[in-house]
Copies of this chain bind each other. A is one copy, B any other.
C-alpha cells in the first residue's frame, strides 16, 4: 500500500473491507467525482430512482449484509434520504451515509449557492444528520481523514475527495472491538448472575432486539444451548410461530410483528426446535405465554427495548426483583446495577465460568415446538371465496421455503405476517419501530441485491406490500429490473389505507387511493417480455393454485393478490 491515497479511495476501500459490494444512491453535482472511485475499489453502483428509495434499499441491504453504504448530494439529496436514515437509526440498522458537499472554500466564505438557504449557513443539514446518526463527521482535514473515516464517516466535501491521506490504516482491518468493562465490577456482576441462576427453579430467557443490535446472538445462542432454559423472544426478534398462537388479531395495538437480520438471526432460528416457547408481547401475547413469563422466578432478559409495538403497548414489564437485564453499557441483577458492564464482554465470562448442572429446569405449561410448520394446516379444499387478510396470512406460510427472505411492509403486511408460520431459516425484514410506509419496496431491492451477492444467491426474496404503501416507492421496481434482480412482489390490493381505516375513518375518503393497474408497471418500467411475469388472484382457490405451482411459481417475479 502506498504511503498516501485519496480520501475517497480510503473510504471506499474501508467499505469493501467491511463487506460492502454495492453502494446505493443517486448521482448529484457534489458527489460525481467520488463516484469515479467506486469501481476501482471493487464497489458496484446501484443508482436508485430517488434518494428516499436508495435509503430504504441500503437499509434492506444492510439487514442482509450487516452493513451498507449510501451516497447522496448536499442538501436536496441528503434530506430526501432523511426519513430512510432516521428509520435505520431507529431500527438499529448500520448504514454509512456519504454526502457530497460543496468545497471547503465555498463553505468558508459562506457563499449563498444553490441547494442552500442562501443564508451562508452550511451547517443546517449536518445538524439534521447528527440528529439521526450514531456518528457524523465532515472530512475537511486530509491529515487525519483516514482516522476519522475509521470512526464512521458521513460527509465528503468535493474538494477533499482527491486530497491525499495516510494509507497505512488500510493494511489492517478496521478495529471493531468493544472497550473493556471495568474488571472488578464485571467480576461482581458475573458472580451475582450465577448466584441468581443457581438459586432459581423456574428461570426463562427472554431475548430483546438489543441482542441483535450489539451482536451477541452467538453468545446468546451458546447460553441457550448450554443452559437448556426455555426461550422467549420479543416481537422485534422474530422466530417461527407456534401453532397454538394462531389467533387472528385485528386490533392494531395487540398485534406483534417481526424483524430480522439474516447473519445474526440464523443461530436463534436454529434453536427453535428445542427450547423456543413463543413471542412475548405483553398483554398482546397468548395467556399461556403471559403466565409463563409472570410465573418465572427469574427472567434473563438480554437487550430489552420496550417500544409500544414491541411490548404489547407497554405491558411487557417483568419484575425487577426477578430480572437479570443485559444492556450494552450496564448489567442489572435484581435491584443492583453494574455500570459500564456491557453484554458483549460479560456474556462470554458467564459462558466460561457457569456450572450448568446447578441450574434447575422449570416446568412451564407451554408445549415445546416440535415442527415449525404445522402440516395439518395445509389447505385441502380451497373455495371460490375472495382472499381475506385472515385467510391469506394463515395460509401463505405453506408456500414459503426454507431460507426465504420475507420483506413485510408496515401495515397489514407487518401485522398480518405474525399469523404466518415460517419454515426454518426464513429471514424476516420489516420496520417494527419506525413503521414508515413505502419502506419495503426499497428494502426489497437492497435485500435482493445483498442475497445475489451472498454465498447463497438462490434464496428467494418475497415482498408483501399493501397498495397504499406501494404507491410511495413502487418506482423502485425499475431499479430491480435494471439490475436483473428478481424478487417475488405480492401487492395486497385492498383499495386504500386499510390499517388506517382500522384506526380512524373507515369510510372517509382520505383513506382512499387512486386505483392503479399494477400489471402495467413491469412494461412501463422497461421489463423485457418473458423476463418478468404478472399474476392476479382474487379467490382463495386462485391463490392456492398459484402458490402451489411450485417451480412455476418460483420463477414468477411480480404477482398481485387481491384480498
Give me the interface of A with B, judged by CB distance under 8 Å.
27-29, 32-33, 35-36, 38, 45, 47, 49-50, 52, 75-76, 79-80, 82-83, 86-87, 89-90, 111-118, 124, 127-128, 131-132, 305-309, 314, 432-438, 471-475, 478-479, 481-482, 497, 500, 503-505, 508-518, 520-521, 523-526
Contacts and interface: CB of A to CB of B under 8 A. Distances in A.
Nearest to A128: B128
A116 B131 contact: no
Contacts of A83: 76, 79-80, 82
Nearest to A477: B514
Contacts of A132: 117, 124
Contacts of A32: 500, 503-505, 510
22 contacts: A27-B500, A29-B503, A32-B500, A32-B504, A35-B508, A36-B508, A50-B471, A76-B87, A79-B82, A82-B83, A82-B128, A111-B308, A111-B314, A112-B308, A113-B308, A114-B307, A115-B436, A472-B475, A475-B475, A515-B526, A516-B525, A520-B524
A386 B302 CA distance: 66
The 9 closest A-B pairs by CB, nearest first: A520-B524, A76-B436, A32-B504, A79-B83, A482-B514, A50-B472, A113-B308, A80-B83, A112-B307
| Central interface residue in A27, A38, A314, A513, by most chain B CB within 10 Å | A27
A513 B45 CA distance: 12
Contacts of A481: 514
A484 to B, nearest CB: 11
A206 to B, nearest CB: 17
A80 to B, nearest CB: 4
A526 B478 CA distance: 19
Nearest to A471: B49
A550 to B, nearest CB: 30
B509 A514 contact: no
Given A32-B504, A76-B434, A80-B83, A112 B306 contact: yes
A514 B511 CA distance: 32
Nearest to A121: B131
A517 B497 CA distance: 28
Given A36-B505, A113-B308, A520-B523, 18 more contacts: A27-B500, A38-B510, A45-B510, A47-B509, A47-B510, A50-B472, A76-B86, A79-B82, A79-B83, A80-B436, A111-B308, A112-B307, A128-B128, A471-B475, A474-B475, A481-B514, A514-B525, A520-B520
A212 to B, nearest CB: 14
A392 to B, nearest CB: 23
A330 B31 CA distance: 38
Contacts of A308: 111-114
Nearest to A502: B29
Nearest to A124: B131
A264 to B, nearest CB: 19
Contacts of A503: 29, 32
Contacts of A521: 520, 524
A113 B435 CA distance: 10
A363 to B, nearest CB: 34
| Central interface residue in A35, A114, A307, by most chain B CB within 10 Å | A114
A11 B128 CA distance: 28
Nearest to A480: B514
A433 B131 contact: no
Nearest to A525: B516
A524 B516 contact: yes
A170 to B, nearest CB: 24
